[in-house]
A = this chain, B = another copy of it.
Amino acid sequence: MPFLALDSGVSNPMEEAVQSSHAGLVEKVANYLREHIVMDHFQPGQRLPERTLAVELQVSRTPLREALKILATEGLVVISPHRGAVVAEVSPTDIKEKAYVLSVLEQAAAELTCLNASDDDIAELQALHYEMKACFLRRDRQSYFRLNQEIHNRIVALSGNTALIDMHTNLSRQLYRVRYLSNQKNEKWATAMEEHEAIMAALESRDPEQAGRELRNHLGKTWIKYANGEPIA
């Protein structure tokens, strides 16, 4: 069975992986695999045999191999010589380490955002924040999660530092699975919400040190819990 045929019997699984339809095939394959890895449709440790995947995706092995190499350098899969590619296992240690770096990156981004963002940008951030608060009050975890992600990403985006943004995007992807699962069973939801209030206040008052500290603290608290208990997924 084509492993993700959403509807038709013979449809190609890579439908929406097309970003601007004349993108290279390897990008499509890479995007497709990346998407499914971070969305946890592939279990960690699962093998990704070239030939079978190639026929399922209806591409040849060459672009698939190149896509796998890319994902390997991104840390989403690991390739062993003559043993092929498997979806990267994320150990609790990995998560802790990457989450720590993520918090450092977002701290730096918050500082820059305080200095660089326009008042309109901050206002939009506030708007998203209140939207998120509404979701919190309605106990709508799904939308809360989406808006939370959106806010964090936007703070980083507003930093204006492309290198920082790219590295954050990459790291964030690697933690997406855990981030999502974490959100589902976070008992300290109210605390997280309060921390977001503090972050927004600091951003609004344009206090780089404070904003950075609050954000880093927030991420530290949010993550360490789930990195310490072993069975994340």
Contacts and interface: CB of A to CB of B under 8 A. Distances in A.
Contact of A163 (B26, B62, B94): B94
A interface, by DSSP: helix, strand, loop or mixed?
helix
A24 interface: yes
Interface string A72-88: 11100000010000000
A163 B97 contact: yes
A161 B101 contact: yes
A65 interface: yes
A41 B189 CA distance: 54
A124 B87 CA distance: 38
Interface residues of A, number: 29
A97 B162 contact: yes
A78 to B, nearest CB: 13
Interface string A158-198: 00011110010001000000000000000000000000000
A138 interface: no
A47 interface: no
Given A94-B163, A98-B163, 11 more contacts: A70-B73, A97-B161, A97-B163, A100-B108, A101-B108, A101-B161, A101-B163, A101-B164, A104-B104, A104-B105, A163-B171
Interface of A: 22-24, 26, 62, 65-66, 69-70, 72-74, 81, 93-94, 97-98, 100-101, 104-105, 107-108, 161-164, 167, 171
